[in-house]
Structure 1
Amino acid sequence: MTMTTVLILGANGKIAKLAEAELLAQTADQLKLFLRNADRLTVTDASRQQVIEGDATDPAALVSAMDRVDVVYANLAGKNIEQQAKSVVTAMNQAGVQRLIWISTLGIYDEVPGNFGKWNHKMLDGGYLETYAAAAKVIEQSNLNYTIVRPAWLSNRDIVSYETTRKGEPFKGTEVSRKSIADFIVQLIADPDRASRQSIGVNQPGTDGDKQSFY
């Protein structure tokens, strides 16, 4: 079993924590867990998990965290997501790390069709979709080996069931479980050639409609 060193930015996020648990259970990977407040994370395997406190808008802190890292998985959020994207790209270039998995959101290319697309705009326009779209553009204009992941609306269902669409294709479905996204991320970490330089929509099959079931 090959061992990969993964830097997880925003390591206290819900999807990030599910991915961390799966990586610990299924792989021999070393995990560097980067977040603003280190006290919020509990380490379960000190031989494989290293907690790093830092700000994702600080390229110097990121470069330091990227020492001997193979993959960066960014589970970041916030109004300053575009600035975080710029800092991550700058730091990866400086540190010589190529592989980036970047979590975004559905709708950044106006790719969600029908009434659900209109509803999605109504819910996410006005500072969210715009900033996430700008951040994705920063990633796409980089020379990195990136995969942008665009989940549908997220549920906490205990299910792994998903299908994908590419940039330029209409988004499918309305919802997806966080567990499914975590599973996809673990697969992307394991295979650096998978979905290379692509932006991938992820949804649960059979969830088409005007709104997701839980709203």
Structure 2
Amino acid sequence: MKTKVLVLGANGAIAQHVIASLTTKENIELTLFARDVNHIKQFTASAKIIEGDVLNANDLNEAIKDQDIVYANLSGAVDKMAKEIVVAMDTNDVKRLIFVTSLGIYKEVVSKFGEWNEMMIGSDLVPYRKAADIIEKSDLDYTVVRPSWLTNNDETDYETTQKGEPFKGTEVARKAVAAYITDIIENPRKDVNASVGVNKPSVYGDKPAFY
């Protein structure tokens, strides 16, 4: 039996790496959801595509119905989106959620890198923290993913940290974050009810190398 996976925010760069990986898996049935589907038309032959808005309850319920896993890679009012996703998943009895946020939402980034990160994006993290809180208080089988500063490097090396552990790594490739998310989708009992930092190993400077 195929695992039905819904990708919310399918236009995103990380999401597109995940989608490209999953389209090669015979045991995965993909549904892609985006406000503008023009950037995902290349997947028409291998996935069902839905144009819609996560904040529209009808659109969201129709997409989530009968899915096994929901993977959300969103931007904007992510706290409001998280609330709507939790409600729709509960309504449709779908339990497994993977939700991408950001490093720094728990002020878990240490040393000078933490100070730099807070200076750069501290005020932008509020909705991501609210989204994580909403998800963590739900009855879903969730994984909150907290990537470091993102690069477009063609590499898949990553290491992870759990909530409550210091976050050190200053960067990670989008392709590497996608590799981690793909692994969770293929192994859905991994990192259940966890908030997981994802970074490139052995890159522990005061800020990302590209700054």
Q: TM-score range by the shorter chain?
A: over 0.9
Answer yes or no: is the 8 Å Cα contact 2:68–2:96 preserved in 1.
yes
| Cα distance per residue 1:23-57 (max 9 Å; x no partner) | 112443111110111223223352x3011011111
Cross-structure match for 1:58:
56
Q: What is the letter of the counterpart of residue 163 of structure 1? A: E
Which of 96, 109, 113 aligns to 2:93? It is 96
User: What runs of 5+ residues in structure 1 fail to find an aligned partner?
Assistant: none
Matched, 1:107 2:133: no
Alpha-carbon offset, residue 168 of structure 1? 0.3
Give runs of ≥4 in structure 1 deviating > 6 Å.
none
What are the within-5 Å matches in structure 2 for residues 135-154 of structure 1? 135-154=131-150
In 2, Cα distance between equivalents of 1:42 and 1:86: 28
- In structure 1, the residue matched to 2:78 is 81
The superposition leaves residues 109-154 of structure 1 with CA deviations (integer Å, 9 ceiling, x where unpaired) of: 000001100110111122x111110111010010000000000000
How far does residue 99 in structure 1 lie from its aligned partner after superposition? 0.2
Q: List alignment gaps of at least 5 residues for structure 2.
A: none
State the match for 2:42 in structure 1: 43
- Partner letter of residue 63 of structure 1? N
**TM-score, reference length from structure 2:** 0.97
| Separation in 1, partners of 2:112, 2:19 | 35
| Equivalent residue number for residue 192 of structure 1 | 188
* Alignment-mate amino acid for residue 9 of structure 1: L
Task: Please tell me the residue identity of whatever aligns with 2:105.
Answer: I
CA–CA distance in structure 2, aligned partners of residues 58 and 197 of structure 1: 26
What's the TM-score once normalised by structure 1's chain length?
0.95
Counterpart amino acid of residue 206 in structure 1: S
Question: Matched residue pairs, number?
Answer: 211
Residue equivalent to 1:23: 22
CA RMSD of aligned residues (A): 1.1
Distance 1:89 1:15 in 2: 22
